[in-house]
Structure formats: structure tokens, C-alpha cells
Structure 1
Amino acid sequence: MVKRKTKFTCQACGYESAKWMGKCPGCGAWNTLTEELEPSKSGRKLTFTASANEGMSKPIKLKDVETIQEPRIKTDITEFNRVLGGGIVRGSLVLIGGDPGIGKSTLLLQISSYLASKQNVLYISGEESVKQTKLRAERLDVSSDSLYVLSETDLELITKSIEETDPAFVVVDSIQTIYHPEVQSAPGSVSQVRECTAELMRIAKTKGIAIFIVGHVTKEGAIAGPRLLEHMVDTVLYFEGERHHSYRILRAVKNRFGSTNEMGIFEMKEEGLEEVLNPSEIFLEERSKGAAGSTVVASMEGTRPVLVEIQALVSPTSFGNPRRMATGLDVNRVSLLMAVLEKRVGLLLQNQDAYLKVAGGVKLDEPAIDLAVAVSIASSFKDQPSSATDILIGEVGLTGEVRRVSRIEQRVQEAAKLGFKRAIIPEKNIGNWNVPPEIKVVGVEHVRQALQLTLGG
């Protein structure tokens, strides 16, 4: 009997080595190399490539390629359609990741129920039995004659079931539980995840089936498994939220068929997830008016402006080095803005602790929030509240100048809808665009001017 060779594979990045090492040379992670059997030389190539379709095996001229604009399949959940770029594309492979218990299975089961009213849907669960899936469906009031449920982890049996039921949509929950019999490693390993995803990609592209796969996440929040997984799929969605809050955020970080960084808001209720059509009202409904350190900014999330509240608390430090903490904001950007306020405006912040938070659990990372963050820090430092009907939009440079931002008209219009009376924006953004009559637009060139308008100095 021929002895099978083994190799050591990093479970974080897929790096392969002939011997075990404590630290992976590829990604630098510790204790991630595990021993796996090398695949047998059966002559079969497992990994699916883009040239699987015989019609695309030879190079052809780009102008000779015929394309057909297929209509998107819309679900009854508007927020889900928005995140996908307008609906589900046939033959697409969509990866959804999120923390345990956040509601990934609930969302996909609700979507499957609606899609089953039109065509066959196969829901494959590798973590729950058929009875457990049925109990969840009863709680969500999900029932359809075209919705098939399968509890299986063997990829060959899953492929056979797909051929028998001929579904238009398939849900795999989750990819870390599925294994390929010809791959000699444990389910969830780099090799298994890579080969199973490649096989599902082949099925999606050759049969025109839209497949949704659920991915586990690590404790850092990234999708578990090789980074190759996110490169292989067409769309990557992250389902985020706090366990102690009922609101959930579905965010697109990769989308070959639509805009990236698109965001959808949901509320978790007993009967399932319910979409929030106007998230700005939700984020601002508990805002304390007249409180120092509170400002509102219009942030662009994909193609939609969302108004959120930024809160700051600045207090004298009792340590040698002042603390800088931020929730929903980049702490390095906060430190940068505090340095600008101290150098360009004259606020003595070097002996002050600063704690900042974005209300509602939203994460903001665009430059247009700089002005609102700077004003909220100054407001808390001076213990002087800004006007509750002011909205601040603008990027702050290192010299204190306020730079122009994109899509200013959409941001101001959203603020006018929610009753804001004055918008403080960059001077360079004032131009030929329609200003709503119910809001006053004021342009500023320096952060000092914004502080004079909002705090009087």
C-alpha cells in the first residue's frame, strides 16, 4: 500500500508547507498550520476555473461577445434588493457573513419563502436538522409547496439533490460545514472551503442558479477561511448588529452587479426581520436636544444618505497619557482631528480624555464626517451645545481647511426632509444645485468658522 503524503496548510491564508511551523510565513498568524493529506492523483482537477464553459475555452474578440441584459429577480424586501444592486442576478454566487445568532438564517429563510412563490428553492442546512428548520419556518410563518429543505453536508449528495429538484435558487447554510469526499481534510479547512465553493460556483454559472452561501466569521469579524473565498464569489455581504439592540445592518463590501458599501437596515422582531425604510428617523429619534457634544452628520451609505448622531465626551484625564476611544469611528481619525483643533483653533486638548460614539451602532468611515466630529469634540470641551437643527458636512484637512465632499445635494435634501433648518457645508460645495427652500445653506472655509457659527467662538 502506497503511503499518502501529508502537507501543512495555514487555515487563515492557505499557505502550504512541507513541515510544521509555529508562525505562518504567508500571513504571520501563529498556530494556524494543520496537517492535511495531499489529494490522490486521480487525474481529476477539482478546482473550478472560469474556462469550465467550453464555449469560452478559446480566446475571442471582446466586440464579438454577445451579452443579454437579464432582468433581476426582486424580493419583497426592498432593503435586500437595494444592497444587491436592484435584485438577485441569475447565476450569481452570494456570500453572507455575520456573527452567530445575528439573523443570517432567518433572513435567508424569509427570502426563500418569497422566492418559492415563483420558482423552486432548495434550502440546504448543514448545521440544523430538517425538523429544526421547520420549527424556525413556523415561527416566521414560512410555508410554500416549492420550498425544499435538505439537511446534508456531503457536497456530492448536495449536487445530486440540486439536479433532482432543479431549483432556481439555492441556500447553503453554511459553507464551513460542507465537505468534498475527495478532499482529505476536515470540513471548514482551507482546502474544503476552496473546493466546495469552486463546485458551487460551477453549478451557479453552468446552470444559471443563484446560490447564497453563509460564511462563519472569526472573532475579529472577518469571514473565516481563506481570503480566496471572498475573491471567488460575486457578492460579499456582512450582516452586522449588536446583540443588545434589535437593529441589524446588511452591508455590501463587494458586488460585481451593483454599488459597494450599500447598506440596508432591518429590525429583529418575534415574527422575523422587518425592513426599516427610513433609517435616519430611527437613528435620530432618541437624540437629546440641547446636550453638549452632540452633532448630526449626513453620511452616504452607498447611494443613500443617512443622518446619524455623533456624540463626544471630553473630560480631564487622570492618567499621564490621555485616553482616546471611539465606537463606530476610526480612533486614528479622532486623534488627528483633536490635533487639528489644538494646533489650528487653540483648544487645549492634550490633557483631556476623549470618548466618541456613533449612535445606533453604525460604522462611519468617509471623510465627510470630519466637520461634525470636530464640532462635537469642541462642544463637549466647552460644555456648550450646538443648535439641534444644524447639520454639519465636510472634510477637515491638517491645516484646518474644510474641503468639498461628494453628493452634497442629496445630503442636504435628506436633512431638509427631517426638519433641519441649517446646513453647514464646505464653501467649495456651494454652486449650481437646487437648495430646498426650507433649509439654509452656509459655506465655511475653515473649521474655526464652523465653530463660530455653531458655538459662537
Structure 2
Amino acid sequence: MASKQDTYQCSECGWTSVRWVGRCGECQAWGTVAERGAPKLKQVASSAPTASAQRISDVATDTAQRKRTGIGELDRVLGGGLVPGAVVLLAGEPGVGKSTLLIDVAAKWAGTGETTLYISGEESASQVKLRAERTGAMHDDLYLASENDLGTVLGHVEEVSPSLLIIDSVQTIATAEGDGAPGGPSQVREVTAALGRVAKRRNMAVLIVGHVTKDGSIAGPRTMEHLVDVVLSFEGDRHSGFRMVRATKNRFGPADEVGCFEMSETGIVEVTDPSGLFTTTHSEPVPGTCVTVTLEGRRPLLAEVQALVAPSPNQSSPKRTTHGLDSSRIAMVLAVLERKARLPLSQRDVYVSTVGGARVTDPSVDLATAIAVASAALDRNHPQRLLALGEVGLAGDLRRVPGVERRLAEAARLGFELAIVPTGSRDVTVKVPRLAGLRVVEVGSLADALGVLDLRRTASTSQ
């Protein structure tokens, strides 16, 4: 039995327990709780401060002004640029384009007259140069080094004196101060903390590449996210060229911004107007489609939902196939369509997908999904420049969604003519200019929305 002086601590997040458990009660990781001696409380002697405390009004901020990276979409996510002394963690799946993006950032940063040091722990300097030549990311003030030891990395920093340091990746760097192999919780924690101290002391911005686990979360101890100033998530489907950088933590700006990029043969290209990537252009109205506007952070993005309804060869168990949408929400919308709009779907296969590989989790897509399915089931067209916004409730009602004004302003900018929104959105929809040619119709239920499009009557009698 453990003594009262013993305690057990999780190596991932630092959670403690008075007894051993197989699974951490905080981060839910298995096998990370180990026995440690309880720390003894000691009297800490005071020491002279290295610098006197200042009044907040006297603190100089000249050295903390943002510097743009030269990539507008990344600056947007960072809140306007990199803050000197900030430590930024960029995490993403293998092959998503993290190294390609950062070598471009390094070259553009060096192009402004600033010295940049790129440390690669996974590739040699010649391999990094080949990628830089392919993407056109070459500059004389960009220095490359391939190292795996933190002490040697800090020696390069002292020699080159860069204003931007890029570490690719933190899981490949080791230090004698940490226990275990490179990439282990102790090593990652010590390396990140040391880089943060050097960044603050030298007023140098640091970009760190981090790996992710199978479930998409950042690999390594959870304390690493607290040691950095900014956490960016690089997302994208390897079968699609679209990439998105999302801020999940930002001490110097908004934490709900996203940046849009596209992977091309020549590298990463920023996409300043991504709405056209997730919609298709039809010369004539096509049944089974509907467009909505989602919000990624504070950014409105158009998304097109396509549906196909076909007779099922196995009527006792019809197929429900989705791509880019939440299957459970699709099942709920189909149930509401059958129960409240009397649309026969129980013996038909239903396929619902988004265009361009977009992943949409915003509940505002419910109404667009319902209209697309109803249009496909009845093989009837609706107005071509139609936009639908609204969350569908189990009672068949439509609920308001946040950011209606920004969504409709984006639709009006792109030339949409009719928008169907839930009742109660009038206080914000009046701000949309009528000169834009967008007519806004408020409805209270899903059945009313189908009635506006002349689908409700047919749905009630169709078999």
C-alpha cells in the first residue's frame, strides 16, 4: 500500500491522484499515471529581481509590434502578423502541407530584410532546399540546418541571430534535460519550454511544427499547448487541394479566425475568396441541390448540398450515405421530412454530399439539406439563385442561427436572389441592402419553407 507521502501523477497533463489508476481522470489517457513522491513544502528565499517592476503605462511596446509574414491568410489567423517573442504551434496530419507552408513563410519573412533560421529534424538541408526550389521559396537571408539536439539548435540561434526560428518538428528534437526518447512527453515539454524562454529573451518569433494523433488532437503532453502563445490547426483532406488553418488559441488576437489555402503543384497558394470552391455552376436549375452559408470562425463560406433519392432494392433497410455532413443530423432531417412534410423516404435510398470535399458541421445547413432532399425526391426544380439558412427542430420548426447578417451579406455579394431564413431574423436581415437584389423570406417551419418553393403540396400527395 502506498504511503501518505506518495502520490501518482499523469505524465501527459500533470493530473494527480492519491492512488494508482490505469486511466488519467483529466485527459483520459491510458497508462500515463505513475508514482511520484509527494513534494515537500520548502521556504523559498527571496532574491533580487533582474529588472524593477514598471507602471503599466510606462511599459514600452515598440518591440512587440506585429510583423506581417507576407501571407495574408496566415496573417489573418494570427491577428495581423507575428508578434516578436511569440511561440506559435502549428499542428496537422502528415502530408497536409505544414512544411511547405512554413518554408514559404520563411522565404517571405527573409524577403523583408529579416534573418530566418529553419531547423529540420526530419529532413536534411539539401532535401529542404529541393522543396524550396520547387515552390520558389529561396532567399539569401534564409538559413537551413538539420539538427536533433536542442543544445545544437540554440547554438545555431546564437550564431545566426534570427528574428524568426522555425522548428520542424518538435517531436524530433531532444534535450539532456528531459527524460525518455525524442517525442516523449518529458522531452516535448522541456524542448517547448526552452524554446519559449529563448524566444522571450531574444524577442524572436518561433514557429513550431507539431504532430497529431489518430483522433486529430495534438500529440504530446497537454501542457505543451499552455506553454505556447498561439495554437494553429492545419486541416485538409489529402484527396482535396483545399486547406484550412484554424486558430484554437491566440493570446494576441481572435481565436475564431480561419485562413484558406489551396495545395497546388508549386506549393501552398492562399485563397482570399474560397466561396467558389464549394459550389458548382449550373446553366439550368438542377433538382437535388441547395446552397447555404456556413461560418468558419467569423468568416462566411458558401457550401452546396447535393442529394440523390432512389428506389431501394432492400426496402426493409434503405441506405443512408453522407459525405461531408454529420450522418446523425442527416438522419434527423430525413425523419422530420417524412413525419412533418409527409415525404415518403422510408423505402428509398438517400445519398447526401457536399461539393468540393467541404466538411460542414454548422447546424444552419439543416434547411438546405432538407430542401435538397425534397427536391431530389420529387424531381422538381427550385429557383436557381436560392439560399437556405436554418436549424431544423424535431417538431419541424426552424430555429435562428448566429451571424445571419454576415451570411446574407456574403450571399448578396455573390448575386443570390432569394434567401429563406427562420422567423425572427428580420431584425438583422433589414441591414442587407435591398439594392443587392436579395429577397429575404422568413418562415417558421420546414413545411412552410417547402411551401414557398412549391414543394409542400407535391410532397403531401406524392407517393
What TM-score comes out, normalization by structure 2 length? 0.83
Contact kept, 8 Å, 2:308 with 2:376, in 1: the verdict is yes
Q: Is the 8 A contact 1:21 1:33 kept in 2?
A: no
28 and 304 in structure 1: CA distance in 2 versus 1, 3 angstrom threshold:
closer
Distance 1:202 1:71 in 2: 19
User: Which residue is equivalent to 2:387?
Assistant: 391
Question: Could you tell me which residue of structure 1 aligns to residue 101 of structure 2?
Answer: 107
- Hey, what does 2:365 align to over in structure 1? 369
CA gap 1:436/1:156 in 2 versus in 1, 3 angstroms: farther
* Aligned residue number for residue 43 of structure 2: none
8 Å Cα contact 2:68-2:81 kept in structure 1:
yes
- 1:57-206 mapped onto 2 (5 Å cutoff): 66=59, 68=61, 70-117=64-111, 118-206=113-201
Whether 2:324 is the aligned partner of 1:344: answer no
The 1-side partners of 2:316 and 2:200 are apart by 60
Shift of 1:361: 2.2
Whole-Å separation in 1 of the counterparts to 2:104 and 2:388: 38
One-letter amino acid matched to 1:393: L
Give the 3 Å change call, closer, same or farther, for CA 456–19 of structure 1 in structure 2: closer
In structure 2, C-alpha distance between the alignment counterparts of 1:340 and 1:67, rounded to whole Å? 60
Structure 1 19/428 Cα, relative in aligned 2: closer, same or farther at 3 Å?
A: closer
For 2:349 and 2:359, locate their aligned partners in 1 and report how far apart those are by CA, in whole Å: 21
Amino acid paired to 2:452: L
Change (3 A) 1:436 1:253: farther
Q: Aligned partners of 1:234 and 1:332: how far apart in 2?
A: 36
How far apart are 1:297 and its partner, in Å? Answer: 0.5
Q: Aligned equivalents of 1:352 and 1:326: distance in 2?
A: 14
Measure, in 2, the Cα distance between the counterparts of 1:155 and 1:8.
Answer: 29
Alignment of 1:265-284 (within 5 A): 265-284=260-279
Counterpart of 1:409, as a letter, is E
CA displacement, residues 130-154 of structure 1 (integer Å, 9 cap, x when unaligned): 1111111111222222211111111
Unaligned runs of 5+ in 1: 1-6, 42-52
What displacement does 1:128 show?
0.6
Structure 1 pair 181–336 and aligned structure 2 pair: CA distance change class (3 A): same
Change (3 A) 1:319 1:56: farther
Mapped partners of 1:54, 1:343: distance in 2: 72
CA contact (8 A) 1:107 1:273 kept: yes
**What amino acid does structure 2 have at the position aligned with 1:435?**
P
* 1:433 aligned partner, one-letter code: K
Q: Distance in 2 between matches of 1:338 and 1:67?
A: 60
Residue 356 (structure 1) shift: 2.5
Could you tell me how far 1:449 is from its partner in structure 2? Answer: 1.3
1:363-418 Cα deviation digits (max 9, x unpaired) = 22223222212222322333333322101112223322222233323222221222
Going from structure 1 to structure 2, the CA distance change for 1:120 and 1:178 (only over 3 Å counts) comes to same
Runs of 5+ consecutive residues of structure 2 not aligned to the other structure:
1-6, 40-47, 457-463
SS of 2:182 mapped into structure 1: coil
CA displacement at 1:26 relative to structure 2 = 5.6
SS at match of 1:274: strand
* Aligned 8 A contact 2:321 2:351 in 1: yes
Indicate if the aligned counterparts of 2:13 and 2:221 stay in contact, CA closer than 8 A.
Answer: yes
Q: Max radius of gyration: which structure? A: 2
| Offset of residue 12 of structure 1 | 6.4
Aligned to 2:447: 448
| 1:401 maps to which of 390, 393, 397 | 397
Q: Which residue of 2 aligns with 1:214?
A: 209
Q: Tell me by how many angstroms 1:223 deviates.
A: 1.9
Residue 252 of structure 1 corresponds to 247
Indicate whether 1:232 and 2:227 are aligned.
Answer: yes
Q: SS where residue 291 of structure 1 aligns?
A: coil
CA contact (8 A) 1:413 1:436 kept: no
Q: Could you tell me whether the CA contact under 8 Å between 1:122 and 1:169 is conserved in 2?
A: yes
Equivalent residue of 1:334, what SS? helix
For 2:402 and 2:417, the matched residues in 1 are separated by 21
Bigger shift: residues 198-207 or 163-172: 198-207
- Whole-Å separation in 2 of the counterparts to 1:382 and 1:351: 14
Tell me if 1:295 matches 2:293. Answer: no
TM-score of the superposition, structure 1-length normalised?
0.84
Aligned CA distance change for structure 1 residues 17 and 273 (closer, same or farther; 3 Å): same
Kindly provide the CA deviation profile for residues 98-130 of structure 1, in whole angstroms up to 9, marking residues without a partner as x.
Answer: 221221111100111011122111101000111
Report the alpha carbon displacement of residue 33 of structure 1 after superposing the two structures with TM: 5.1
Asked if 2 retains the 8 angstrom alpha-carbon contact of 1:341 and 1:374, the reply is yes
Residue aligned with 2:453, SS: helix
Q: For residues 11 and 269 of structure 1, do their structure 2 counterparts lie closer, same or farther at Cα, with a shift above 3 Å needed?
A: farther
Cα pair 1:412 1:435 within 8 Å, conserved: no
CA distance, structure 1, for counterparts of residue 340 and residue 377 of structure 2: 16
Q: 257-266 vs 295-304, which deviates more?
A: 257-266
| Matched-pair contact (CA < 8 Å) for 1:416–1:436 | no
Contact (CA 8 Å) 2:278, 2:304: kept in 1 or not?
yes
Name the aligned partner's letter for residue 182 of structure 1: E
C-alpha RMSD of the superposition: 3.3
Partner SS for 2:424: helix
| Residue of structure 1 in register with 2:4 after alignment | none
Provide the secondary structure at the position in 2 that maps to 1:360. helix
Given that 2:107 and 2:139 are in contact with CA atoms closer than 8 Å, whether structure 1 keeps it comes out as yes
